[in-house]
């Protein structure tokens, strides 16, 4: 698989088989991902890979919390600006509309939307998960480094025939994650990532991307 194929085939998969993911494959992916760029080579990412019984227990705790209606943990970062402006507001709305329409869930059916959301904390059936932390003292440039690292991980997973789903939903139950993984106190959870083999029986809709002209401006001579 070349780089273009990896980029274009990478997507947030929300349906995995229970086929185990070999630890040596994950080690190979994460060893290579360490070469992702970061300002002054700070490498601000801290990843925990969880499989087997520990992951099943974490899934159980998270799902039980959400199903019982317990309040979500407050994120330690702001996921979206308080007021999304155009075109970002429309893109987010379109994603939600396409996602729940594909699941046959009406916009006003809050209970069904909640049931669908619970799939996040079940890792959509994936047998492996990565939890990415960052030091609380880091600034915005290091958060950008974190994004480049995670994208590198996801593309390398595609090269191994695996799929993934990055999930900031895990930050809403971050205290449960922290209890399970006991990271150093200076680390804060950014996101989780489900990892595994895609279940072809699960329907999905491919979210579209904005036209190039909306997001890229060429300056200078372009043949």
Ordered per-residue pLDDT tens for the chain, 223 residues = 899 999 999 999 999 999 999 999 999 999 999 999 999 999 999 999 999 999 999 999 999 998 888 888 999 888 888 888 998 888 888 877 776 666 665 666 666 566 667 888 999 999 999 999 999 999 999 999 999 999 999 999 999 999 999 999 999 999 999 999 999 999 999 999 999 999 998 877 788 888 999 999 999 986 6
Look at the chain and count its residues: 223
Alpha helices in the chain (DSSP H): 3-9, 23-33, 52-67, 88-102, 110-118, 140-159, 174-181, 212-215
Structural domains in the chain plus CATH codes: 3-74+121-207 (3.40.109.10)
Residue 208 to residues 8, 92, 98, 160, 205, Cα–Cα distance (Å): 11, 11, 10, 25, 9
């Amino acid at each position: 698989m070349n780089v273009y194929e990896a980029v274009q085939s990478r997507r947030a998969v929300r349906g995995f088989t229970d086929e185990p993911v070999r630890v040596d494959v994950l080690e190979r992916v994460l060893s290579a991902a360490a070469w992702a760029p970061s300002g002054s080579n700070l490498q601000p990412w801290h990843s925990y890979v969880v499989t087997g019984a520990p992951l099943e227990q974490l899934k159980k705790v998270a799902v039980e919390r959400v199903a019982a209606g317990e309040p979500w943990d407050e994120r330690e970062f702001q996921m979206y600006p308080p007021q999304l402006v155009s075109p970002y507001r429309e893109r987010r709305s379109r994603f939600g509309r396409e996602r729940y329409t594909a699941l046959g869930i009406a916009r006003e059916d809050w209970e069904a939307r909640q049931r669908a959301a619970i799939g996040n904390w079940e890792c959509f059936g994936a047998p492996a998960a990565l939890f990415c932390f960052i030091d609380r003292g880091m600034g915005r440039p290091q958060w950008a480094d974190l994004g480049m690292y995670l994208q590198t991980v996801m593309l390398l997973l595609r090269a191994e025939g695996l799929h993934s789903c990055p999930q900031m939903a895990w930050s809403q139950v971050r205290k449960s994650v922290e209890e399970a993984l006991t990271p150093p106190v200076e680390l804060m959870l950014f996101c989780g990532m489900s990892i595994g083999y895609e279940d072809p029986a699960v329907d999905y809709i491919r979210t579209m991307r904005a036209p190039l002209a909306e997001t890229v401006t060429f300056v200078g001579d372009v043949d």
